[in-house]
Amino acid sequence: MEKKLNGIVLKSVSYGENDAILNIFTLEEGIISAKIKGVKKASAKLKFATQPFCFAEFIIAEKGDKKSVINASLHDGFYSLRENVFSFYAGSTILEFALKFLSQSVENEEMFLLVSKSLNELTYGSENTEKTLIKFLLKALSLSGYGLYFDRCVKCGCEIEGRVFFSVQTGAFACEECLEEGFEIYFDTYIALKELNEDSKKDFAKETLINSLKLISYYLRQRAEVEVKSLKEFIELEFFNKN
Ligand SMILES: [Zn+2]
Protein backbone atom coordinates (compact mmCIF):
# COMPACT_ATOMS: atom_id res chain seq x y z
CA MET A 1 0.00 0.00 0.00
CA GLU A 2 1.21 3.50 -0.83
CA LYS A 3 0.20 6.80 0.64
CA LYS A 4 1.06 10.48 0.48
CA LEU A 5 2.07 12.18 3.72
CA ASN A 6 3.17 15.78 4.24
CA GLY A 7 5.94 15.93 6.77
CA ILE A 8 9.08 17.51 8.20
CA VAL A 9 12.23 15.41 8.73
CA LEU A 10 13.16 15.58 12.42
CA LYS A 11 16.08 13.18 12.39
CA SER A 12 18.06 11.09 9.93
CA VAL A 13 20.32 8.19 10.88
CA SER A 14 22.56 6.24 8.48
CA TYR A 15 21.56 2.65 7.95
CA GLY A 16 23.83 0.17 6.21
CA GLU A 17 25.99 1.41 3.35
CA ASN A 18 23.50 3.39 1.36
CA ASP A 19 20.29 3.78 3.33
CA ALA A 20 18.94 5.95 6.11
CA ILE A 21 16.18 5.79 8.68
CA LEU A 22 14.13 8.96 8.96
CA ASN A 23 11.91 10.24 11.74
CA ILE A 24 9.31 12.34 9.98
CA PHE A 25 6.71 14.48 11.72
CA THR A 26 3.72 14.20 9.39
CA LEU A 27 0.61 16.34 9.40
CA GLU A 28 -1.65 13.35 8.78
CA GLU A 29 -0.22 10.69 11.11
CA GLY A 30 2.15 12.35 13.58
CA ILE A 31 5.68 10.98 13.88
CA ILE A 32 6.61 8.01 11.72
CA SER A 33 9.86 6.12 11.10
CA ALA A 34 10.64 5.20 7.54
CA LYS A 35 13.60 3.76 5.68
CA ILE A 36 14.91 5.51 2.59
CA LYS A 37 17.14 3.55 0.22
CA GLY A 38 20.20 4.42 -1.84
CA VAL A 39 20.56 7.98 -0.59
CA LYS A 40 24.28 8.03 0.17
CA LYS A 41 25.54 8.41 -3.39
CA ALA A 42 26.19 11.99 -4.44
CA SER A 43 23.86 11.55 -7.38
CA ALA A 44 20.95 10.17 -5.31
CA LYS A 45 17.73 11.83 -6.41
CA LEU A 46 16.18 11.78 -2.93
CA LYS A 47 19.23 12.95 -1.00
CA PHE A 48 17.43 16.20 -0.09
CA ALA A 49 14.76 14.18 1.73
CA THR A 50 17.28 12.93 4.30
CA GLN A 51 18.12 16.41 5.58
CA PRO A 52 16.63 17.51 8.92
CA PHE A 53 14.15 20.40 8.35
CA CYS A 54 13.18 19.03 4.92
CA PHE A 55 9.44 19.69 4.51
CA ALA A 56 8.09 17.56 1.70
CA GLU A 57 5.27 15.43 0.42
CA PHE A 58 6.48 11.89 0.96
CA ILE A 59 5.21 8.84 -0.88
CA ILE A 60 5.35 6.07 1.68
CA ALA A 61 5.08 2.35 0.94
CA GLU A 62 3.86 0.16 3.79
CA LYS A 63 4.56 -3.54 4.24
CA GLY A 64 3.28 -4.84 7.56
CA ASP A 65 4.58 -2.33 10.10
CA LYS A 66 7.59 -1.34 7.97
CA LYS A 67 7.47 1.92 6.10
CA SER A 68 9.74 3.18 3.36
CA VAL A 69 9.99 6.42 1.45
CA ILE A 70 9.77 5.75 -2.27
CA ASN A 71 9.46 9.32 -3.47
CA ALA A 72 9.33 12.88 -2.16
CA SER A 73 8.63 16.33 -3.53
CA LEU A 74 10.02 19.28 -1.67
CA HIS A 75 7.76 21.99 -0.18
CA ASP A 76 10.60 23.80 1.62
CA GLY A 77 14.09 22.78 2.77
CA PHE A 78 14.46 25.80 5.11
CA TYR A 79 18.06 25.86 3.81
CA SER A 80 19.03 29.37 4.88
CA LEU A 81 18.25 28.47 8.48
CA ARG A 82 21.63 26.70 8.47
CA GLU A 83 23.53 29.83 7.46
CA ASN A 84 23.31 31.30 10.95
CA VAL A 85 24.44 29.27 13.94
CA PHE A 86 21.75 30.75 16.22
CA SER A 87 18.84 30.07 13.90
CA PHE A 88 20.29 26.61 13.25
CA TYR A 89 20.30 25.70 16.97
CA ALA A 90 16.91 27.35 17.50
CA GLY A 91 15.52 25.26 14.62
CA SER A 92 17.21 22.13 15.99
CA THR A 93 15.55 22.82 19.38
CA ILE A 94 12.16 22.82 17.65
CA LEU A 95 12.84 19.48 15.90
CA GLU A 96 14.22 17.90 19.07
CA PHE A 97 11.26 19.10 21.14
CA ALA A 98 8.83 17.49 18.66
CA LEU A 99 10.83 14.26 18.65
CA LYS A 100 10.97 14.03 22.45
CA PHE A 101 7.46 15.17 23.35
CA LEU A 102 5.28 13.59 20.68
CA SER A 103 4.20 9.97 20.54
CA GLN A 104 4.72 7.83 17.45
CA SER A 105 1.80 7.72 15.01
CA VAL A 106 -0.44 10.10 16.96
CA GLU A 107 -1.72 12.89 14.77
CA ASN A 108 -1.22 16.41 16.21
CA GLU A 109 -2.22 19.07 13.73
CA GLU A 110 -1.84 22.00 16.13
CA MET A 111 1.75 21.04 16.95
CA PHE A 112 2.54 20.44 13.28
CA LEU A 113 1.32 23.92 12.38
CA LEU A 114 3.29 25.42 15.27
CA VAL A 115 6.50 23.66 14.18
CA SER A 116 6.15 24.68 10.53
CA LYS A 117 5.17 28.28 11.40
CA SER A 118 8.15 28.63 13.77
CA LEU A 119 10.65 27.20 11.25
CA ASN A 120 9.23 29.56 8.69
CA GLU A 121 9.68 32.55 11.01
CA LEU A 122 13.28 31.51 11.84
CA THR A 123 14.13 31.18 8.14
CA TYR A 124 12.26 34.06 6.50
CA GLY A 125 10.85 36.23 9.30
CA SER A 126 12.17 39.41 10.87
CA GLU A 127 11.52 38.54 14.50
CA ASN A 128 14.52 38.02 16.71
CA THR A 129 15.60 34.38 17.09
CA GLU A 130 15.33 34.23 20.89
CA LYS A 131 11.78 35.59 20.82
CA THR A 132 10.65 33.12 18.16
CA LEU A 133 12.17 30.26 20.15
CA ILE A 134 10.56 31.35 23.45
CA LYS A 135 7.15 31.70 21.79
CA PHE A 136 7.51 28.24 20.27
CA LEU A 137 8.53 26.64 23.59
CA LEU A 138 5.70 28.26 25.60
CA LYS A 139 3.08 27.17 23.08
CA ALA A 140 4.59 23.71 22.62
CA LEU A 141 4.70 23.18 26.41
CA SER A 142 1.07 24.16 26.65
CA LEU A 143 0.13 21.73 23.85
CA SER A 144 2.07 18.98 25.65
CA GLY A 145 0.28 19.44 28.97
CA TYR A 146 3.10 21.37 30.68
CA GLY A 147 1.78 24.88 30.15
CA LEU A 148 3.03 27.71 32.33
CA TYR A 149 0.48 29.84 34.14
CA PHE A 150 1.34 33.55 34.14
CA ASP A 151 -1.84 35.48 34.74
CA ARG A 152 -1.85 36.10 38.47
CA CYS A 153 -0.41 34.79 41.70
CA VAL A 154 -1.32 31.10 41.77
CA LYS A 155 -2.21 31.21 45.51
CA CYS A 156 -3.98 34.51 46.25
CA GLY A 157 -4.90 35.58 42.72
CA CYS A 158 -3.38 39.05 43.07
CA GLU A 159 -1.54 40.76 40.25
CA ILE A 160 2.16 40.02 40.79
CA GLU A 161 4.27 43.12 41.33
CA GLY A 162 7.80 43.81 42.48
CA ARG A 163 9.03 40.32 43.36
CA VAL A 164 8.04 37.02 41.77
CA PHE A 165 8.53 33.37 42.70
CA PHE A 166 8.35 30.39 40.37
CA SER A 167 7.16 26.92 41.30
CA VAL A 168 8.69 24.31 39.05
CA GLN A 169 6.26 21.62 40.31
CA THR A 170 3.21 23.50 39.06
CA GLY A 171 4.64 25.79 36.36
CA ALA A 172 2.99 28.73 38.12
CA PHE A 173 4.16 32.01 39.63
CA ALA A 174 3.48 33.47 43.07
CA CYS A 175 3.71 36.85 44.77
CA GLU A 176 6.03 37.66 47.65
CA GLU A 177 3.41 36.86 50.33
CA CYS A 178 2.56 33.47 48.89
CA LEU A 179 5.92 31.94 48.06
CA GLU A 180 6.10 28.39 49.33
CA GLU A 181 8.02 25.85 47.30
CA GLY A 182 9.05 28.35 44.65
CA PHE A 183 12.30 30.26 44.12
CA GLU A 184 12.70 33.91 43.23
CA ILE A 185 13.31 34.87 39.61
CA TYR A 186 14.02 38.24 38.00
CA PHE A 187 10.85 40.25 37.59
CA ASP A 188 11.93 41.17 34.03
CA THR A 189 12.09 37.46 33.12
CA TYR A 190 8.53 36.96 34.37
CA ILE A 191 7.24 39.97 32.39
CA ALA A 192 9.03 38.88 29.20
CA LEU A 193 7.66 35.33 29.43
CA LYS A 194 4.18 36.58 30.25
CA GLU A 195 4.13 38.98 27.30
CA LEU A 196 5.70 36.56 24.82
CA ASN A 197 3.12 33.99 25.88
CA GLU A 198 0.55 36.47 24.58
CA ASP A 199 2.51 36.82 21.31
CA SER A 200 3.74 40.34 22.15
CA LYS A 201 5.84 42.10 19.50
CA LYS A 202 7.66 44.16 22.14
CA ASP A 203 11.45 44.14 22.43
CA PHE A 204 13.22 42.83 25.50
CA ALA A 205 16.85 43.02 26.61
CA LYS A 206 18.96 40.15 25.25
CA GLU A 207 19.91 39.10 28.77
CA THR A 208 16.24 38.88 29.80
CA LEU A 209 15.50 36.66 26.79
CA ILE A 210 18.42 34.37 27.64
CA ASN A 211 17.28 34.17 31.27
CA SER A 212 13.80 33.26 30.01
CA LEU A 213 15.27 30.43 27.92
CA LYS A 214 17.31 29.22 30.90
CA LEU A 215 14.19 29.10 33.03
CA ILE A 216 12.31 27.12 30.38
CA SER A 217 15.25 24.74 29.99
CA TYR A 218 15.36 24.18 33.76
CA TYR A 219 11.60 23.64 33.86
CA LEU A 220 11.84 21.05 31.04
CA ARG A 221 14.46 19.10 32.97
CA GLN A 222 12.78 19.28 36.35
CA ARG A 223 9.09 19.01 35.50
CA ALA A 224 9.03 17.01 32.27
CA GLU A 225 12.36 15.27 32.91
CA VAL A 226 13.43 15.97 29.36
CA GLU A 227 16.79 17.43 28.35
CA VAL A 228 16.55 19.24 25.04
CA LYS A 229 20.25 19.25 24.10
CA SER A 230 19.95 21.74 21.27
CA LEU A 231 18.37 24.26 23.66
CA LYS A 232 21.27 23.79 26.06
CA GLU A 233 23.68 24.38 23.17
CA PHE A 234 21.73 27.46 22.05
CA ILE A 235 22.03 28.96 25.55
CA GLU A 236 25.76 28.15 25.71
CA LEU A 237 26.31 29.80 22.33
CA GLU A 238 24.58 32.95 23.58
CA PHE A 239 26.81 32.88 26.63
CA PHE A 240 30.06 32.59 24.63
CA ASN A 241 28.87 35.21 22.20
CA LYS A 242 28.33 37.65 25.03
CA ASN A 243 31.70 37.07 26.71
ZN1 LIG B 1 -0.11 35.76 46.25
- Domains, the chain, with CATH or none: 2-76 (2.40.50.140), 79-242 (1.20.1440.120)
**173 C-alpha to ligand 1 centroid (Å):** 9
Q: Which pTM does this prediction carry? A: 0.95
pLDDT confidence of residue 175: 93
**221 C-alpha to ligand 1 centroid (Å):** 26
pLDDT confidence of residue 243: 65
**189 C-alpha to ligand 1 centroid (Å):** 18
Bridge partners of 23, per DSSP, are 11, 33
Q: Which of 138-142, 175-179, 215-219 has the lowest mean pLDDT?
A: 175-179
**158 C-alpha to ligand 1 centroid (Å):** 6
Query: Between β-strands 30-36 and 66-76, what pairing exists: parallel, antiparallel or unpaired?
Result: parallel
CA distances (Å), origin 188, targets 30, 38, 182, 210, 213: 37, 52, 17, 11, 13
Q: 93 pLDDT band (50/70/90 cuts)?
A: very high
pLDDT confidence of residue 80: 93
Close Cβ partners of 103 (under 8 Å, ≥ 6 residues apart): 30, 31
Phi and psi at 162, nearest 5°, equal 80, -75
The mean per-residue pLDDT over the stretch 206-214 comes to: 96
Which amino acid makes up residue 32? I
- Please write the tens of the pLDDT for every residue from 31-88: 999 999 999 888 899 999 999 999 999 999 999 889 999 999 999 999 999 999 999 9
**164 C-alpha to ligand 1 centroid (Å):** 9
Q: With residue 30 as reference, give the H or E element that holds it.
A: strand 30-36
**152 C-alpha to ligand 1 centroid (Å):** 8
Centre a 10 Å sphere on the Cβ of residue 136 and count the other Cβ atoms it contains.
22
Q: Is the per-residue pLDDT at 239 higher than 90?
A: no
- Please write the tens of the pLDDT for every residue from 158-198: 999 989 999 999 899 999 998 776 899 999 999 999 999 99
pLDDT confidence of residue 45: 94
**171 C-alpha to ligand 1 centroid (Å):** 15
